[in-house]
């Protein structure tokens, strides 16, 4: 039986506090790209199991995390909470096409 792609959400909160939140962002990006788990994992140089673990909020090694994010066209920015609030507010003010 063929797996269905997850439904994509127009926008997800870029401020992540948990592995589950990170997994939701990754799953949404994959859904927007209309990629199956195995295809997205292959393009990222990781296994489908590793991508599935990440999408389900379970831990993966940092090297695999970075490879998966890069393979899906995502970046991670680590900032203190004051900067995060300012950056998030600035993102809300940008036109949709600038941060889609």
Confidence (pLDDT) at 81: 87
Confidence (pLDDT) at 1: 44
> Is the domain 19-98 a CATH 1.10.260.40 member?
yes
- The model's pTM is 0.79
- Tell me the C-alpha distance between 35 and 89, whole Å: 30
pLDDT in tens, 24-83: 999 999 999 999 999 999 999 999 999 999 999 999 999 999 999 999 999 998 999 889
Cα 60-30-66 angle, rounded to 5 deg: 35
Domain boundaries, the chain: 19-98
Phi, psi of 25 (to 5 degrees): -65, -45
User: Roughly how many angstroms between the first and final C-alpha of the chain, as a whole number?
Assistant: 32
């Amino acid at each position: 039986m063929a797996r269905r792609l997850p439904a994509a959400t127009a926008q997800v909160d870029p401020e992540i506090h948990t592995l589950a939140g990170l997994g939701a962002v990754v799953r949404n990006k994959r859904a927007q790209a209309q990629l199956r788990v195995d295809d997205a994992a292959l393009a990222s140089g990781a296994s489908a199991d590793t991508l599935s673990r990440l999408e389900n909020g379970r831990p993966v090694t940092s090297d695999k995390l970075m490879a998966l994010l890069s393979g899906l066209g995502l970046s991670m920015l680590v900032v203190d909470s004051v900067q995060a609030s300012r950056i998030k507010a600035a993102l809300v003010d940008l036109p949709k096409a600038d941060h889609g």
